[in-house]
Chain A
């Protein structure tokens, strides 16, 4: 066993382990603060946020396990801020969401605070990323299936300094809030994000004071090297070779059908190269990926194939090299719409990579997890007189089966894998003019196999708003179900319909804006099952 290579006298294996425990505890605590203080349902109930600590070199050092698709993208956000602001000062809060400047998609707002050694140089960034319930643009709820450019998708925030002399600028917050449809939620969530980031800076500063910047830096280097060794030891057990995997999106909502993500994955010793250059060209609709999101999706697929106890920091991803071409669906040119990309085409990137690697490590590859089919509903609640925006998180799709057994029922998609909580039925009915008449498993929807994919779910949702509501959908997976692996069958695809009183049922498309929903209408939602594993 080789040992961490550090400057003599700087640190030792015990100190490294002690500090790793400490940094993880700080990330965990930041996440807990965020969960308990955030304002909108999408954060405090559905937990669509993530925490990271990255170092001055923008390397991921520690994270709390929240939303996997966020985590690999955080270092890119830190890089964009570091580039735009070479002179961060203590107390600064930076903000960004622009997918063409380090962000993933517009709804994911990221707050970053620098951490300094006492009177010295920049050491860390304390990072909080959270999905906003609205970010402006021409439709409510952040997802605009009609968009053919990013300006129709919402407010772009390239890296900005939100503070002046460590005080949050009310004028800037006011400007941002004015560009969203629910300023109250936005302000509450932003306060929670800044609070959590500040908590992180405070604790990191304490550690720096206790051990000194030199010891902490050397220990961080050793932690990352250790994770690299762990990851390489696993990859070294995979069969060398070049493997191909393809996954297909249904459509882009603007005429392009069966859009292919092609991954050629080469395993050589302990190195893995993922080549996505063969993927289809970028499309008109919002299923294109930003660069940071594409990188994060590949990292996510790789992390799923490692061991659960492998540290997920910069070191663990060093064996991985990603090749992609700008102008393809996985890496769009500036200006293209990308809002759906954290779900789609992220999920297809993951599936293509895992399908390819099922040839190299069949017992590690798992059946496909569900695809996301969102629904955002807005209208007026007669009980409060307030406008509401409701996001569908119920009726989770099924998880993929694995060599260990069946898939988890109603556990979600590749990008969250059981990390998104749906709100209590009772709380939903109390807060929104909605009745969830039926919400149960969708029997038989998981793909068959030696181990079956997890079932999706069925939801019958009655709308009781005052007057007409408007719904938008955003998603994929009514043509292609979650993929089976190693001879397992695909899961059933989604099927959503809307029953308006006195009209024939209408089958909903996955990218459909402006759906008119009169009172008494019922959504009948059937989510897809997970992919099976192995020959039945």
Chain B
């Protein structure tokens, strides 16, 4: 029954394909991404992988029992403003909710900036006469004439999608459902989506924005996924692909198309899934995934081996309040520009040189110093990048010399300063992200991936007081590899009435109903399933809830309510330094995740060392020049121990061991670094 498993990650430049054979061996292929129709790049990557395996593509696909795909179709549509033309049906008297932005404007001290364009222009936000009350009772029945009039206007405006957004629909969806039926009848070709389907939770701004986002990306995602499934099926794939979602679980093509906005944040989800998989393989349970790219560094926390979810983020200025992996993006990466700001202080980022012109050392016309240039000048980066691309050290040096002259320091001091400042900024980012989530980062290990991470992660760890760093061997295709290590997951939520108090019996009923719905959504899945319960709780008049896991708590117990409250008080105290045990605890949402567990992939033993076991040598700057050994990652023997200072290189990544660091090449094929001499001062 076990066949091949294939993970496919479509990135901005490359489409990565990772094939796991029945014996656990891994084959990797990279094809150019084809933005116009991503399925072409996917097919090309599959062909290359099949060729490496010595198989014809139809043979490989016929023997494939699981294919997981991450797509950026929705993300790109939002970022490039190329979503479908959406018409909105909304409660009469409330057509401006999405454009009012809850009264907020970003950047308090930037008053010379024009207002954002709304996702749907006012002329296409059409009022329908209807009204629910807060308790779900009907204040004004759905008026068929006004619905008809609005639909005629949308038909005349030739919209491709219809978003139905009525007040209090999370509490009583009857009007939205009738309107959706009418819209499907009148506009049979349109993508019709209702807020009570997309996000059945209180707070209309989040719900409406998410529904509109779903309407914007729905048609393009549905079209793409249908086409992909068809192309793959024609090429011989027996079982349709699964799609990875923003929350890190996977869904069928149909489900991903219904909740298309749920794929908008799936880009980094593969990497976080990989971190969770590495955790299961023994990397530890408390991890900070640290993915340093060209323009930004993405951070995610894993606690108890599981990644935390957030209640959504923005993509291209569009708020999507669906459960998403809690990933924090910091505006600092390898391409971040170092310069002197108007105040005369050194800054690194958020401006980035991007891919074009890129860092000065790329020789593509960039002349500003970047983090990558500093790494090159300091000797940390191999100028040949393992032979893939020749870098221009002279250009990097010239850029850093100019910066140093402005700072009144030499080129090496300037390069070391840029390296130190970007590390400090990333450490601050990790600190705010972790402490904000009630976590002390010192108990965590940093898991480094992304091309630039290995040269910075040691110093970031030291700054944070983190003693353990892991660099997995899969670093370069981690996202696609991670997709092979996911499960089918459905996230469900039920909001509770404000005045309802905390009633364990009602909670138990909600979980039972959600469990039934979740299992229905996984219909056809025959493997083992598990559920995870949590509740969003708060004190009386607070607005923000704290998510409290309720697994293992017997809701039928006589003291169930006291047990729930005790868990909440403890969590509140851990997060915010205090608890208020004499105050009311209010239940806002009950949440349930239903997971259908896919069988774990076999894990192959690492291959025999392939390169030279003797190190080369390079001069690097570590508070002064010194010659350090340069090891080939692929050539290290299992269990081999290394002592800093040293560099470890592969074709796709470089790792810097600082003076006090020690590393071991783990038998599982990853580098485990012990950070020595946790620095007391940033000097």
Contact = CB atoms under 8 A, between A and B. Distances in A.
A138 interface: no
B64 to A, nearest CB: 45
Given A1-B344, A426-B203, A430-B497, A308 B428 contact: no
A410 interface: yes
A436 B204 CA distance: 13
Nearest to B169: A426
Interface string B401-423: 00000111100000011001100
A508 B460 CA distance: 59
Contacts of A41: 541, 543
A35 B544 contact: yes
Nearest to B579: A191
B110 A22 contact: no
A227 interface: yes
A402 B417 contact: no
A44 B542 contact: yes
Interface in B165-192: 167-168, 170
Contacts of B170: 426
B223 interface: no
A529 B67 CA distance: 55
A406 B114 contact: yes
Given A409-B99, A422-B102, A424-B205, A2 B428 contact: no
Contacts of B407: 3, 13
B115 A210 contact: no
Tell me which of A17, A29, A41, A436 has the highest count of chain B C-beta atoms within 10 A of its own C-beta: A17
Interface in A168-224: 184-185, 187-188, 191-192, 194-195, 198-199, 209-212, 215, 222-223
A427 B577 contact: no
Contacts of A356: none
B113 A65 contact: no
Interface stretch (B292-300, B430-438, B526-534, B592-600): B430-438
A431 interface: yes
A7 to B, nearest CB: 15
A465 to B, nearest CB: 14
A408 interface: yes
Nearest to A16: B345
A29 B436 contact: yes
B542 A404 contact: no
Contact of A198 (B113, B544, B577): B577
A197 to B, nearest CB: 10
A20 B345 contact: yes
Contact of A13 (B107, B135, B345, B431): B345
A33 interface: yes
A408 B682 CA distance: 43
Nearest to A28: B432
B608 interface: no
B525 interface: no
Contacts of B498: 427, 430-431
Given A21-B425, A309-B341, A427 B203 contact: yes
Contact of B576 (A33, A402, A409): A33
A439 B409 CA distance: 59
Interface residues of A, number: 107
Contacts of A192: 576
Interface stretch (B89-97, B234-242, B256-264, B467-475): B89-97
Nearest to B125: A440
Given A20-B345, A29-B435, A366-B112, A188 B541 contact: yes
A384 B347 CA distance: 54
Contacts of B417: 12-14
A4 interface: yes
Contacts of A184: 540-541, 583
B204 A440 contact: no
Interface in A1-34: 1-4, 12-22, 25, 28-29, 32-33
A402 B111 contact: yes
A25 B432 contact: yes
B168 A426 contact: yes
A331 interface: no
B541 A410 contact: no
B625 interface: no
B494 to A, nearest CB: 15
B134 interface: yes
A39 B436 contact: no
Contacts of B115: 399, 405-409, 411, 454
Tell me which of B345, B420, B498, B544 has the highest count of chain A C-beta atoms within 10 A of its own C-beta: B345
Given A14-B421, A402-B111, A417-B108, A1 B340 contact: yes
B96 A441 contact: yes
A387 interface: no
A223 B345 contact: yes
B682 A405 contact: no
Contact of A17 (B345, B544, B681, B683): B345
Contacts of B168: 426, 429
B93 A440 contact: yes
B107 A308 contact: yes
Nearest to A434: B134
A254 interface: no
Contacts of B134: 426, 429-430
B670 interface: no
A68 interface: yes
Interface string A520-532: 0000000000000
A438 B100 contact: no
B362 interface: no
Given A37-B576, A425-B94, A426-B203, A230 B342 contact: yes
A49 B674 CA distance: 43
A236 interface: no
A17 B93 contact: no
Contacts of A45: 543
A440 B95 contact: yes
Nearest to B573: A195
Given A20-B345, A29-B432, A410 B103 contact: yes
A440 B126 CA distance: 13
Contacts of B428: 21-22, 25
B103 A310 contact: no
Nearest to A381: B499
B540 A44 contact: no
A39 B108 contact: no
A421 interface: yes
30 contacts: A3-B408, A13-B346, A13-B407, A13-B408, A21-B428, A25-B429, A29-B435, A37-B544, A40-B541, A44-B541, A198-B577, A210-B681, A233-B342, A309-B342, A402-B113, A404-B113, A406-B114, A409-B115, A420-B103, A422-B102, A425-B97, A426-B204, A427-B202, A430-B134, A430-B202, A430-B499, A437-B93, A439-B94, A440-B95, A440-B96
Given A404-B113, A418-B108, A426-B134, 10 more contacts: A12-B417, A29-B432, A41-B543, A44-B543, A192-B576, A308-B110, A409-B99, A410-B96, A436-B94, A440-B95
